[in-house]
Amino acid sequence: MDPLIVTLVTFDGAVNWTVGFLTTVAIFAILALALNVQWNVGILNFGVAAFFMVGAYVSAVLTLPAPEGLESYVAGWGLPVPVGWLFAAAAGAVLALLLGIPTLRLRDDFLAIATIGVAAILRSIANSVEGLVNRSRGLNGIDGFLESEFAGGGYRWVELVIALVVLAAVYWLVSRGTASPWGRTLRAIRDNEDTAKASGKNTVRFRMSAFMLGAMLMGLAGAVYAHRSGTISPLTFSDLLGTFFVWTMLIVGGSGNHRGVVLGAVVVGFFWFGTPLIQESLPDWLGSRVHQVRQLLIGLLIVVFLLWRPQGLLAERDRVSRFVTEGPPSGHEDERRVWRERLRSALHR
């Protein structure tokens, strides 16, 4: 029997699995929320894995002790973990700034194209430049936050609490951001960029700020991930898990709605990390192909949701401000609602 199944049939095993699962999902939920911040203003970021990776590596090299023996990486200053987090977030924002300067002023589609390759390039840099981040050997022995204080045991729970606290903080930040004048401007830019420009908004600067905020949070998620797993290598940050997986969470959960995005992370995460649990009980022809099948389904979920439930599990609420209790004021054409109706009629044509 699969050792995983054995761990699950015992109570402790099930609890342990759930704690680990929730920690992972919380980290992915941060990524999805961050992506939502960017997507909400019409920024198509196909390079989530790149920002995730930069955050993880920056925090890792800053907090690791100086390299010895065969190891070779920069920094290694042994800084405290929270400092690593801060720099990770800053690194994500800087990467966004570098990418955004040439592309954000141009057509919408160019940023998407520019971002598809970034993760692959960062992976190849990490893999091929000697003395930067240990190349393909990866970085090992990254300290967990407060790990030494809980050396006696129960650190899994601490990890879960850390991930949830960061998630809660990020959720609070993006919710406040969306509800603020800044967030309203971003929605206005998304719905009609020309009108926003005519109202005197510097749309490039607003979109850049959203791009950087999202990237910052992705970098933070990367740092949380690195200190949780203890080991990172270029292979960890695949396009599939680092980028496409997060997009599926966003589309399934409901783009534009923060609660929906977190729900999407839980649902898609359970689908992905839960399938190995039933692998043993599947017939052999399917069981041996579980990885490919679930990958196929990840892609299928995106397409199916775009076609039949473009608003996601939880739709974005149409409101201008929480002080306006009725629906959207007359004349306000909510793009998503109109899109939904048009799609419905198109499907029944």
Partner 1 sequence: MGIIVGSIIALGAMGLTLIYGVLGIGEFSHGDKMGWGMFLAFFVVSAEGANLGFAGGRFGSLSFGWGLVVGLLVAMVGVALISVIMERLVYRRLRAAGGSFFIFAIASLGMSIMLRAAIQLIWGPSNFRYTPGIHPAIEIFNGIKVKPDQFFIVGVAVLAAVLLYWLLYRTRFGKAMRATADNPGLAEASGIDTNRIRMGTWVVGGILAALAGVMLGLQAEVRFDAGFRLLLPLFAAMILGGIGNPWGALLGGLTVGIAQEVSTQWINTGLKPGIPFVIVIVVLMLRPRGLFGQTR
User: What 3-state DSSP class applies to 318?
Assistant: coil
The CB-of-254 to partner 1 minimum distance in angstroms stands at 14
The CB-of-152 to partner 1 minimum distance in angstroms stands at 42
Whole-angstrom distance, CA of residue 282 vs CA of residue 341: 40
Nearer to partner 1, 112 or 266 (CB): 112
The CB-of-241 to partner 1 minimum distance in angstroms stands at 11
Nearer to partner 1, 112 or 314 (CB): 112
Nearer to partner 1, 322 or 349 (CB): 349
Q: Which residues bind partner 1 (CB under 8 A)?
A: 42, 44, 46, 102-103, 106-110, 112-114, 116-118, 120-121, 124-125, 127-129, 240, 244, 247-248, 251, 289, 292-293, 295-296, 298-303, 306-307, 310, 338-339, 342-343, 346-347, 349
C-beta of residue 250 within 8 angstroms of C-beta of residue 35: yes
C-beta of residue 224 within 8 angstroms of C-beta of residue 30: yes
Q: What is the widest separation between alpha-carbon atoms in the chain? A: 69
Nearer to partner 1, 116 or 314 (CB): 116
The CB-of-273 to partner 1 minimum distance in angstroms stands at 17
The CB-of-298 to partner 1 minimum distance in angstroms stands at 6
C-beta of residue 115 within 8 angstroms of C-beta of residue 238: no
Phi-psi region of 309 (alpha: psi -120 to 50; beta: other; left: phi over 0): beta
Nearer to partner 1, 40 or 63 (CB): 40
Instruction: Report which DSSP code applies to 242.
Output: I
